Amino acid sequence: MPQQPPKGAGSGTQSAPRRGKGVLNQQVAAGARVPVCASCKAQIRGKFVTALGQTWCPNHFSCAMPDCKRELHDIGFVEEKKQLYCEGCFETHLAPNCSRCSKRVKGDCLNAIGKQFHPECFSCTYCGSLFGNSHFYLEDGLPYCEADWNELFTTKCYACGYPIEAGDRWVEAMNNNYHSQCFNCSVCKKNLEGQSFLGKSGRPMCKSHAR
């Protein structure tokens, strides 16, 4: 029976942590609304940091990792699940491990088959070509490009060598599989689908040429 495309066929999606840098403001502009700290919710009367559309007390604009708490307005931040972290804490504690090379994915992350990869690590199991956001096919939990999946796992027509795809008309005869249009007499090329035939030296023949 022709091989159906595997249920795991799909494509990966890329994501990247949001990085940025806060702006330290010396004072509120004349006539402007007094800023409120996004962390402690108190009004800020002196210097304040703006980032991501919010304001903070400078000492509250800090890494969310409890044992770090470094102020971030000078060194930049990485946002993860609505929390801000310094680059070091993100890379050490939060960046996912690539399922191929096991190293931390610090930048662009490709999410596929329930796992995370560096974009340059998510590739065809057979030929090594990168998938990027293109489609792949799963076989025994491993990803393959469409060309290699067809070559390795689909049923091939014995006559033309091309895959017999789901939905194709096909014939099983003499322990081989054929596209219906390829199941022809080896001599006169008459199509034998639904017709009486004889096998001779492993080749189908109409009755006239099998004598």
CATH topology of domain 155-211: Cysteine Rich Protein (2.10.110)
What percentage of the chain exceeds 90 in pLDDT? 67
Give 190 or 154, the one with higher predicted confidence: 190
**How far apart, in whole angstroms, are the C-alpha atoms of residue 55 and residue 35?**
6
Categorize the per-residue pLDDT at 16 as very low, low, confident or very high, splitting at 50, 70 and 90.
confident
Lowest mean pLDDT: which of 43-47, 63-67, 146-150? 146-150
Mean pLDDT rounded to a whole number for the chain: 90
Report the distance separating Cα 197 and Cα 166, nearest Å: 26
Question: How many residues does the structure list for the chain?
Answer: 211
- Which CATH number is correct for 18-94, 3.90.45.10, 3.40.47.10, 1.25.40.10, 2.10.110.10? 2.10.110.10
Dump pLDDT digits (tens) for 164-180.
Answer: 887 889 999 999 999 99
pTM: predicted TM-score of the whole model, two decimal places? 0.62
Give the integer Cα–Cα distance in Å for 65 and 105.
19
Domain boundaries, the chain: 10-14+96-144, 18-94, 155-211
Cβ atoms < 10 Å from Cβ of 3: 16
The reply to whether domains 10-14+96-144 and 155-211 share a CATH topology is yes
Q: For the domain 10-14+96-144, what is the CATH code? A: 2.10.110.10
Indicate whether 6 pLDDT > 70.
no
Tens digits of per-residue pLDDT, 106-160?
989 999 988 999 999 999 999 999 998 788 999 988 999 988 988 888 889 999 9
Residue 9: predicted pLDDT: 60
pLDDT at 8: 53
